[in-house]
Amino acid sequence: MTSATRIPTIGLYRNPKHQYFFNGAGPFPGVTSVIRVIDKPAIVGWAKRETARCAVENLDMVTDLIAKGGPKAAASWLAQIPDYQRDTAADLGSAVHRLAEETSRGEQVSVTEEQAPFVAAYHRFLNDYSPEFKSLERMVFSEAHGYGGTFDWLAVIDGKLTLGDTKTSKAVYPETALQLAALGNADFIGLTDDERKYTMPRIEQYAVLHLRPEQYASGYRLIEFHHIPEAFEAFLAALRLTNYKLGPSPIGESLPLPVREAA
C-alpha cells in the first residue's frame, strides 16, 4: 500500500470516497452516502427535463451526431447531459463551500464571476446574523452506530449553538434533516493522527444556509430545521439499509434439479 492510500491507525480519517476510518478500523459509511439510499423521484424527472431541453436547444448538433455517428452516438451524448449538469453544479457548490469556510476564518479570497454573487450573499449572512463560529469543517464519528460525517459549521447565533449546513442547491429538501440529525448525534469530533475524542457539544438548533442569489432579495435564507429526534431515527433506518446493501449478496446458486425415481 502506498503512502497516498495509507489508512492512519490513529484518529479519524476520511478517504476520497467519503468513507470513514477510526483508529484504522473501517470503512464506515459517511452521512451523505447513507442518505443517498433514500429514493428521490424528483431527480428522475429533472434528468428527463434536462435531456429533453438539451435535445431541443441543440437540435442541429444532435442531427449532425446522428448523421456522422448514428443514433447510438447521439443517444450516448444526450444520456450524459444530466451527469454533466450535476457535476457542474457540484463543482460550483464545492467552490462556494471552500470560499465560505475561508471567509469565516477571516482569510482573503479570490472569486470568479460565477462565484461572486454567492460570496456576496454569504457576506450578507455574516453581517445580518453575526455568527460566532466555534468550529468549521470538522469530521465527526459515531461509535455507537458506526458512521462518520463532516459538518460545515458550528456557530452561536442569537445565543444558541447552531449546527449549520451551507447549500447551493436550487431547493432545500426534507432529507437534509437526516443529515443534520446524524451529524448532531455523533459521539465525538475527531482529527486525523490525533487519538483524542473531542466532545460533541449539545446542539441547540439546526439550520441550513441556503445561498441562492437569484431566489432571495438578500441572496440567502437561513432556514431552521425541526423534528431532529425523528429525523435521527429515520437516518438510522437508512443506515441499516445501507449496511445491508454493502453486505453479502443474498443471491445464491441455482437450486439442484430434484432427483426423480425411475418409473
- Give residue limits of the domains in the chain: 3-245
* DSSP secondary structure letter of residue 222: E
Q: Looking at residue 56, what is its pLDDT? A: 86
> How far out from the chain centre does Cα 193 lie?
24
Q: Looking at residue 6, what is its pLDDT? A: 83
Q: Looking at residue 24, what is its pLDDT? A: 94
- CA dihedral sign of residues 109, 102, 84, 56: negative
What percentage of the chain carries pLDDT values higher than 90? 66
Q: Looking at residue 82, what is its pLDDT? A: 64
Stretch (H or E) spanning 211 = strand 205-211
Q: Looking at residue 210, what is its pLDDT? A: 98
Q: Is 198 strand, coil or helix?
A: strand
Tell me if the pTM is above 0.85.
Answer: no
Fold designation for 3-245 = Lambda Exonuclease; Chain A (3.90.320)
Residue 85: CB partners within 8 Å, gap ≥ 6?
50
Q: Looking at residue 2, what is its pLDDT? A: 41
**Tens of pLDDT, residues 10-64:** 999 999 999 999 999 999 999 999 999 986 666 666 677 778 888 888 888 778 8
Residues of the chain with pLDDT under 70: 1-5, 39-46, 82-90, 263
Q: Looking at residue 3, what is its pLDDT? A: 44
Contact 162, 125 (CB under 8 A): no
